[in-house]
Structure formats: structure tokens, C-alpha cells
Structure 1
Amino acid sequence: MTKALIVVTNTARFGTLNKATGVWFSEATHFHDVMAAHDIDVDYVSPTGGYVPLDPGSIAESEMDELNWRYYGDQRYRQVNLANSLAPSQVNPADYALIYYAGGHGTMWDFPNSQAIAKIAEAIYAQGGLITAVCHGVVGLLPIQNPDGSTFIAGKQLTGFTNEEEAINQLTTAVPFLAEDALKAAGAAYHKTAAYTENVIVDGRLITGQNPQSAHGVGEAAVKWLAGKA
């Protein structure tokens, strides 16, 4: 049975600032829904396991479409995936055909430092699976290495949350670093489009999306790749 592993943040606060954060809800739900529509089972993992905070901005009325409300109202979804996400030690990479890093500003603090999740991604990729990510979730790609110890994303075509989009949020100085800058510094071939417009980049078995508007597209691209493999 094909399964997908969604990585979500445990970080609930912007460092020392009195500002709440967490996973950007639609980046989890819109990808999850594409998987569900194609009968692909989904599990959620986080750097420490357990509770997953939601970014308050992502559940503002203006951000909550019908799909998000459906997931938000699903008690089992909230209990299994957000209240009790898996810890990395509970994950067997052999069970998954792909890993997906969902975004939200919280990821900027815990994704780059999670060697345990990086090892899961490396194992999934080594067995022929996909590595996918969207928005700030792309910072989870930074610690992933090739078998020879080199940086996984060096030379890879990809995208992720832009410096411009962070400036629009007025959060440039609130985050520990900028996703676009970090991807470029790691040697990635970074591509972007206009702020907050869908942008999905496919480079072999690496699929990335620029922003929340790209989560569904990343899911569709992953399903297309899986269908071609079948």
C-alpha cells in the first residue's frame, strides 16, 4: 500500500518573540486531501512527536476555505495527526513512498536541526521514493545529505518561500534566517515567480512549491509521479 509521510513543526512561537506560529494549516490539508483523493494513506511526523500547533494566521477566516473547515471539523484528523503526531523513532521509512515537508514559520526553528527526520527522508529517497516540500517547509531539505555526505539540494532545481513574500509579511527580521537565502547558500538552483502565486518545481524525485498556494500542486505532481511509476 502506498503511503505518504507529512512532516509538521512542533514550534509554537517565534523564538523569544511574543508571537504565535506553527504549521500553516492549508499546507498540510491541501496536500493531504490530494493524497486521500488517490487512496494514499497519510501519517504525520514532527521533530519531537506529539502536539502540533497551528499558525493562528492560517486559521483566520480569510484563509479557511471549505476544505480547511472540513479538516478542522474532523475530530479524528485533529486527534491523530495534530494532537499525536508520530515521533521520528516511530517511523519506518520502508513504509512510505514519499515524504512531504509542510510549511509554516515554526519550521524555521526545528526543521533544519532535525537530523532524525533528515535520515528518514534520505532512506525514503534511497529506496526510490519522493522528497517533496512547500513554502517554509523547504528548510527541512537543508540537513539532507547524499550517500557520499554531500548536500542533497546542491545543484537541484527547486523553489520555496521567497524573500519578497517574507517582506510582505513584515517578518524578515522575526525569523532566524530567510528560506530563499539558505537554499541558495546550500547550492540549490532556486526559482521563484510572483509573490503568492502557485509555483511548483519538479527535479526528478524532488518536488517543491513556493508558497501556500502551491501545496495542492505539489500533491498533484507527486501523484502524477507515483502513477507513472506504477
Structure 2
Amino acid sequence: MSKILFVMTGVDYWTLADGTKHPTGFWAEEAVGPFEVFTEAGYEVVVATPGGVIPSVDEGSLSAEANGGEKNATQVKATLDSITALRHPIALGDVDLDDYVAVFYAGGHGPMEDLAVDHTSGELLVAARDSGKPLAIVCHGPAAMLAATIEGGANAFSGYRVAAFTNAEESQAGLADKAEWLLEDRLTEAGIQVEVGDPWESNVVTDRGLVTGQNPASSRPLAAEMVSRLA
């Protein structure tokens, strides 16, 4: 069975501008949706995190409000509990890209804390880009692209068009004024072109081998696009 590498944050907090640690992790829908799309298409999912730590879910992403009602929230939680791979991640440093047909990065605010500055993750992203294998990244996951630098210090994805969690969405979520930096701003500063869609609506952008999604609503469409590319 072909395998897809499923990269996730290894932290359960995001340090704000005043130094406080905002509880977070990965966003449930951005793990559950792609996992279901990938496995239903016949792929094996292998989870990788910095240091191989078990990823923590953002508790806010399990609420009824975040999932369109209590019934959906219960289903998302049940699916998360059933994903064995989440409880047995491998370390990013142990990843052999040749073992996988594609790479996916989940979001949540966690990547803003660790993957944005993780050298091993950055090298993996550059290797994935150069390999031509489908690479998909959703919501706050594009923060990991900030660590993907090449010789001379330029960003490996400079000039690429992407979707990512926007300043407007961060403001509406109530954290923009508390954040030390915003994802849309940092990506733009790195030379990456952020194509902004309507807040909270699905927005998937493709550029060469890269597929990116703006927010949780984009996670399933993004995963479906990657499966289509693998077909």
C-alpha cells in the first residue's frame, strides 16, 4: 500500500506577543478530513512530528461551534480516537522521503510555534518540492514553509502562489491583536504570494507540485486534489 506522510505540529501552545502561551495544537478537522480522504482512496497514512512526540489536538477544534453542531463534533472526536497513526508518530528526522508518494502538512496554531522554525521540516519541504511529489499544506500549516530556505537564505517557495490562514480570519478569531506575527504577513515577506479568499470559505490554490488550503473548510477539497494528482 502506498504511503502518504502526514506532518503535524508537536506542541500544544502558541506563544503570543506578551509571552503567554495560548493553548493549541493541531486543528481536528484538518487531520480528520484529509485522513479520511487519503485512507478511503487506499493510501496508508504515516504521521510525523518534531521529535516523534504525540500530537495534541486543539480542544477548541472539538467544540460543537467549530464543527457545525454537536453531532458533527462527536463524530470528529470519534474519528480522531480511531486514528492509530496519531498515537504512534515517527520523528521528522527519521523520515525517508523515498518511502512516500506525497506529503501533507496539517494546520492549527501549533505550526506557528514549532514548524515555522524547524530546520528538519524545512529541509523536508525543500526535498518534497524538488522531488515533484504532491505536497499539500493547509491553514496555519504554511507556517512551516518559512523554515524552507535554500542557499543564500531565500525561501524555497518564493514566487509560489499559495492559500493560507489570512489576517482577516485571524482577526475574526480574536487573536490577531495578540499575535507576535501573522502568517499572511510573514509568507508575503518571504516572497510567497498569498491568494486571499473569503473568510472561512474553502480556498484551494495549486502551483506546480504544491497544493495549499486557506482554512479548515479547505482541508477535504485540498486532500481530494492531492488524491486526484496521485491517480
Give the TM-score of the pair, scaled to structure 1: 0.90
Does the residue aligned with 2:137 lie in a helix, a strand or coil? strand
Identity rate of aligned residues, in percent? 28
Does the residue aligned with 1:48 lie in a helix, a strand or coil? helix
**Structure 1: gaps (5+ residues):** none
Q: What is the alpha-carbon distance in structure 1 between the residues aligned to residue 185 and residue 52 of structure 2?
A: 28
Q: Residue 13 of structure 2 aligns with which residue?
A: 13
Q: What is the alpha-carbon distance in structure 2 between the residues aligned to residue 80 and residue 2 of structure 1?
A: 15
Q: Residue 32 of structure 1 aligns with which residue?
A: 35
Q: What is the alpha-carbon distance in structure 1 between the residues aligned to residue 148 and residue 123 of structure 2?
A: 7
The amino acid that maps onto 1:45 is: A
Q: What is the alpha-carbon distance in structure 2 between the residues aligned to residue 55 and residue 92 of structure 1?
A: 28
Q: Does 1:153 align with 2:161?
A: no
Q: What is the alpha-carbon distance in structure 1 between the residues aligned to residue 6 and residue 21 of structure 2?
A: 27
Q: Residue 199 of structure 1 aligns with which residue?
A: 203
Does the residue aligned with 2:26 lie in a helix, a strand or coil? coil
Does the residue aligned with 2:211 lie in a helix, a strand or coil? strand
**Structure 2: gaps (5+ residues):** none
Whether contact under 8 Å (2:14, 2:112) holds in the other structure is no
Whether contact under 8 Å (1:136, 1:161) holds in the other structure is yes
**Displaced runs of 4 or more, over 4 A:** 146-149
Which stretch has the larger CA shift, 144-153 or 92-101? 144-153
What's the CA shift for 1:90?
2.2
What's the CA shift for 1:13?
1.8
Q: Residue 123 of structure 1 aligns with which residue?
A: 127
Q: Residue 49 of structure 1 aligns with which residue?
A: 52
The amino acid that maps onto 1:92 is: D
Q: Residue 80 of structure 1 aligns with which residue?
A: 85
Which stretch has the larger CA shift, 177-186 or 10-19? 10-19
Q: Residue 60 of structure 1 aligns with which residue?
A: 63
Q: Judging changes above 3 Å, is the alpha-carbon distance between structure 1 residues 146 and 218 closer, same or farther for their aligned structure 2 residues?
A: farther
What's the CA shift for 1:149?
6.1
Q: What is the alpha-carbon distance in structure 1 between the residues aligned to residue 28 and residue 197 of structure 2?
A: 22
Q: Does 1:102 align with 2:106?
A: yes
Whether contact under 8 Å (2:159, 2:191) holds in the other structure is yes
Name the count of aligned residue pairs. Answer: 223
Does the residue aligned with 2:147 lie in a helix, a strand or coil? coil
Q: Residue 221 of structure 2 aligns with which residue?
A: 217
What's the CA shift for 1:48?
2.2
Give deviations 1:34-55, integer Å, cap 9, x for gaps.
1011101111111221221110
Give deviations 1:2-27, integer Å, cap 9, x for gaps.
32111111121232425311000110
What's the CA shift for 1:131?
1.8
Which residue of 7, 23, 27 corresponds with 2:26? Answer: 23
Does the residue aligned with 1:161 lie in a helix, a strand or coil? coil
Q: What is the alpha-carbon distance in structure 1 between the residues aligned to residue 21 and residue 39 of structure 2?
A: 36
